[in-house]
Structure 1
C-alpha cells in the first residue's frame, strides 16, 4: 500500500504526521507523494480539501482518509488519538469505498475555457460589491440575479456555505447540485426565486455575468480574481471522490453531531 500524507502545518498536525509515518513503516506501508493508493490528511476538513485539489488529477484512482485534530468534521473520520488503530486497519483490512459527487465548473472567458473540479462549492462574487448575472437552466433563461453572490454546492458541500444561506442539506448519495443566493435584491427589474434550487445530474446551469465586471471566483478554498468572464457552466462532474471507510459511518449522525448535538445536551 502506497500512501501520501498532508498535514495542516501546525505543531500538533506535524507531530501526528511523524507518528503516522513511524507506525506505517512498522506495518510495511510505503510513502509515495507521486502516485499513492491512499491520500491521508491530518488537520481538518480544510486540510482534506487541500489534499483533494493536490491529487484531483488522480481522483479516479486514489482514495482519501481524514484525521481531525479537533472535533470530527464531515470528511475527517478519525480522531488524533486513533492513529494506531487506523494504521492497523489500513495494513490489514480492505476498506469500504464510498464515492461522493463532485462539481464541474467550466469558466469561459474572452481568451479561454478552463474546467475545474470542486468538492464543496463554487462561489461567485463581484469585486466591486453587487453582482449582476443571468442564470440559465438547461440553456433556458431562469432568472436575473442581483445581490452579493451565488453559491453552487455539491451534496457533501451542502452542509457548509450553502446551509448558512438557508439551503437544504443533501445526502451525498444524491447526484445533484444546489444553487443558493447570497443576499439577493428583488425589485421590479431584478427578480429571483428567493430559495435554493436543486438540479439533478443530467441538468446544468449557466451563470452569465457582465464580461466587463471583475469577479471573485471561489473553487472550494481557492479564490481567483477574473475579468472577461462570459459564461460559467456548472454541472455534476463525471468524476467522483472516493473515501476509504475502515469503520461504520452514517452521514445523518454526523449532521446531528455537528449541528444539533447528541440528544443528551441540556438546555
Structure 2
C-alpha cells in the first residue's frame, strides 16, 4: 500500500502549536509526500483547505496531529472512508500514538520504503431510534446527576442478559479497555483482539462484575428506572435516553486502521503510560 498523499488534521483550538504544524508540513514536503489540509486546520495556519469528506476522498492516509482525543474524533469521522490514520502525539497521554515530532522524519522515510504496519481496531455501532453512531473507545450509559441510581435492562440477541442498577455501565472495545473501563475495574484486552467489554459503574450489588462478550453479540440496553440516562460516546458526543427507550450496541462492520512503526509494542506502551508490571525494587 502506497501512502503518497496525506490529509492533515490539527488539534482544534491549538494556535500555540502553529510553529510545530508548519515544521510538520515542511517535513512532509521534504519527504516528497503531498498533503491536503482539512478546512479548520488550514484556518489555523491561514491556508486553504478542504472539507473533511473531500479530504478523505483525495488522500491515501490521514495525518492526525494532536493527542488521543484528536485521533479518536478523526477515526469516528472517517469511518465510512476506510482510510488509515497516522498520529503524531502532542497530547498528554499519547496512548494510541507511538510517534512524536522528533521521530516523524525518520518514520516517513520508512513509510516511503514500505516499512510500516496497519493495525485494525474493532469499533462499535450504536443505534438509537433511526440514528447510527460509531465508537472507537467506549459507549457509556450513566446517570445525569449525582443523585439517584439508574436502572438498565440488558439483553443479548433479544434474550435476557442482566439488570444494571447503579451509576451506569460501560461498553468498551478492546482498544477502549484501558480507558474508563480500566478505571472502573474492567479488564485490559489486547487492542487487536476480539470481544466487547461490559463493565458496571459503581453497581448497587456485590455480584455485578465486568464481562467480556463475543463481538458477534447484539446488546440492547433499556432504561427502566425513574432517572433519565446520559449516553456518552468516546467522551465526545452526548445523547439522552429517557425511561422506556432502548439502544442497540454491536460491532461495526468496518474497523479503524492505525498506522504504526513495525516495532510498535503494545506492552511497552502499557509499561510507559500505565506502569504495567512496575514494582518497587
TM-score category (smaller protein):
0.7 to 0.9
- What residue is the counterpart of 1:121 in the other structure? 138
Q: Which consecutive residues of structure 1, in runs of 5 or more, have no partner in the other structure?
A: 187-191
Pick from 32, 44, 69 the counterpart of residue 90 of structure 2.
Answer: 69
Kept in 1: contact 2:151–2:225 (CA 8 A): no
Deviations along 1:142-198, whole A, 9 cap, x unmatched?
222111111100001000100000000001222111001111113xxxxx8411011
Q: Secondary structure at the match of 2:245?
A: strand
Pick from 12, 15, 38 the counterpart of residue 19 of structure 2.
Answer: 15
Q: Secondary structure at the match of 2:254?
A: strand
Tell me how far 1:13 sits from its aligned partner.
3.8
Kept in 2: contact 1:105–1:233 (CA 8 A): yes
Kept in 2: contact 1:132–1:145 (CA 8 A): yes
Aligned equivalents of 1:262, 1:132: Cα separation in 2 = 37
Question: Map of 1:71-150 to 2, 5 A cutoff?
Answer: 73-108=94-129, 113-128=130-145, 129=147, 130-150=149-169
Kept in 1: contact 2:116–2:260 (CA 8 A): yes
- What residue is the counterpart of 2:265 in the other structure? 250
Pick closer, same or farther for the CA change 1:262–1:87 going to 2, 3 Å: farther
Aligned equivalents of 2:246, 2:120: Cα separation in 1 = 29
Tell me how far 1:12 sits from its aligned partner.
5.5
Pair 1:164 & 2:164 matched: no
User: C-alpha root-mean-square deviation of aligned residues, in Å?
Assistant: 2.4
- What residue is the counterpart of 2:68 in the other structure? 45
Q: Secondary structure at the match of 2:191?
A: coil
Kept in 1: contact 2:79–2:254 (CA 8 A): no
Q: Secondary structure at the match of 1:239?
A: coil
Question: Map of 1:168-247 to 2, 5 A cutoff?
Answer: 168-186=187-205, 193-210=207-224, 214-228=228-242, 230-247=245-262
| Aligned residue-pair number | 255
Pick closer, same or farther for the CA change 1:227–1:194 going to 2, 3 Å: closer
Q: Secondary structure at the match of 1:163?
A: helix
Q: Secondary structure at the match of 1:117?
A: strand
Tell me how far 1:94 sits from its aligned partner.
4.9
Pick closer, same or farther for the CA change 1:161–1:19 going to 2, 3 Å: same
Q: Which consecutive residues of structure 2, in runs of 5 or more, have no partner in the other structure?
A: 39-54
Pick closer, same or farther for the CA change 1:106–1:12 going to 2, 3 Å: same
Q: What TM-score, normalized to structure 2?
A: 0.82
Aligned equivalents of 2:142, 2:218: Cα separation in 1 = 20
Kept in 1: contact 2:84–2:257 (CA 8 A): yes
Which structure carries more strand by proportion?
A: 1
Kept in 1: contact 2:223–2:241 (CA 8 A): no
